[in-house]
Chains A and B, each alone.
Chain A
Amino acid sequence: MNRTKTRVGLLLTVGALIFGACNTGRSTERNDATGDSTDQDQTAGSTAPVTLKLLAYDSFTPSANIFDDFTAQTGIKVEVVLGGDAGELVTRAALTAGNPEADILWGVDNTLLSRALTARIFLPYETKNIANLDEQAQALVPNNEATPVDTGDVCINYDVNWFNQRNIAPPLTLRALTSSNYASLLVVPSPIASSPGLAFLLATIAEFGEDGWGEYWKSLKQNGALIVGDWTTAYYTEFSGSSGKGDRPIVVSYASSPPAEMIFASPRPATAPTAVAALTCFRQVEFAGILRGTKREREAQQLIDYLTDVKFQEDLPLTLFVYPANNKAKLPDDFVRYSLRPESPLQLDPDLIARNLLMWLDQFTNIVLR
Chain B
Amino acid sequence: MSQARTKYSNTAKLLTVLPTIFVLVFVIAPVANIFGKTFRDVSLSLLRSGTIHEIIWFTTWQALVSTVIALALAAPVAFCVANFRFYGQRLVTSLTGIPFILPSIVVGVAFLGVLPSTLHRTAFALILAHAYFNFGFAARMIGNRWLQIHPYLDDAARTLGASPSRLFSTITLPILQRSILNTSLIVFTLCFTSYGVVRMLGGPSRSTIETEIFFRAMQLGDVSGAMLLSVVQILIIGSLFVVSTRFGSRDSRRASAPTISRQRRIDSTAKRFVVGLASLGAIGFTTAPLLAILIRSLRTSAGFTLEGWRSVATSTDLWRGLSTSFVYALGTLAIAVLLAIFASTATVFDERTAAFISVLTSLPIVVSSVSIGLGVLVTFDTPPIDWRGSQLMLPLAHAMIALPLAVRMITPVLQSIPAPLRQASSVLGANTWQTWRNIDLPIVRRSLVSAAAISAAVSLGEFGASSFLVRQNNETLPILISRLLSRPGDILQTQAFALSMILVVFSVALIFLIDTFDDFTPTNRAASDA
Contacts and interface: CB of A to CB of B under 8 A. Distances in A.
B389 A99 contact: yes
B389 A35 contact: yes
Given A20-B330, A23-B327, A370-B204, A358 B486 contact: no
Contact of B204 (A17, A30, A53, A369): A369
A46 B487 CA distance: 41
Contacts of B377: 95
A238 to B, nearest CB: 9
Nearest to B442: A2
Interface in B212-259: 217-223
Given A91-B218, A95-B223, A370-B204, A23 B323 contact: yes
A31 B393 CA distance: 15
Contacts of A88: 218-219
Contacts of A229: 486
Interface string B197-222: 00000001101000000000111111
B503 to A, nearest CB: 18
A255 interface: no
A27 B323 CA distance: 10
A20 B459 CA distance: 15
A19 B323 CA distance: 9
B226 to A, nearest CB: 10
Interface stretch (B11-19, B295-303, B403-411, B470-478): B470-478
Interface string A70-110: 00000000000101000110111011101101100000000
Contacts of A180: none
Contacts, number: 91
Interface string A2-28: 000000000000001101100110011
A370 B54 CA distance: 10
A193 interface: yes
Contacts of A230: 487
B474 to A, nearest CB: 6
Interface stretch (B135-143, B168-176, B307-315, B379-387): B379-387
Given A27-B473, A99-B388, A87 B382 contact: no
Contact of A55 (B221, B323, B468, B472): B472
B391 A28 contact: yes
A229 B215 CA distance: 13
A223 interface: no
A105 to B, nearest CB: 12
B218 A95 contact: yes
In this complex, which of B218, B324, B389 has the most chain A Cβ atoms within 10 angstroms of its Cβ? Answer: B389
A87 B327 contact: no
Q: A-side binding surface: helix, strand, loop or mixed?
A: helix
B51 A366 contact: yes
Contact of B220 (A17, A27, A365): A365
A222 interface: no
A30 B222 contact: no
Given A16-B330, A101-B472, A90 B389 contact: no
A358 B220 contact: yes
B488 interface: yes
A229 B51 CA distance: 21
A99 B386 contact: yes
A362 B222 contact: yes
A165 B265 CA distance: 74
B506 interface: no
Nearest to B46: A362
Contacts of B383: 98
B222 A83 contact: no
B326 interface: yes
A27 B54 CA distance: 43
B382 to A, nearest CB: 7
Interface in B324-366: 324, 326-327, 330-331
Contacts of A91: 218-221
Interface in B42-84: 49, 51, 54
Given A101-B471, A102-B472, A369-B205, A193 B219 contact: yes
B320 interface: yes
A277 interface: no
B219 A27 contact: no
A115 B204 CA distance: 22
Contacts of B389: 31, 35, 96, 99, 101
Nearest to B386: A99
A128 B472 CA distance: 30
Interface of A: 16-17, 19-20, 23-24, 27-28, 30-31, 35, 53, 55, 81, 83, 87-88, 90-92, 94-96, 98-99, 101-102, 115, 192-193, 229-230, 232-233, 237, 358, 361-362, 365-366, 369-370
Given A17-B330, A31-B473, A95-B377, 4 more contacts: A20-B331, A27-B473, A237-B488, A370-B51
Interface of B: 49, 51, 54, 204-205, 207, 217-223, 320, 323-324, 326-327, 330-331, 377, 381-383, 386, 388-389, 391, 468, 471-474, 486-488
9 contacts: A16-B330, A88-B218, A90-B221, A91-B219, A94-B221, A99-B381, A102-B472, A358-B222, A361-B220
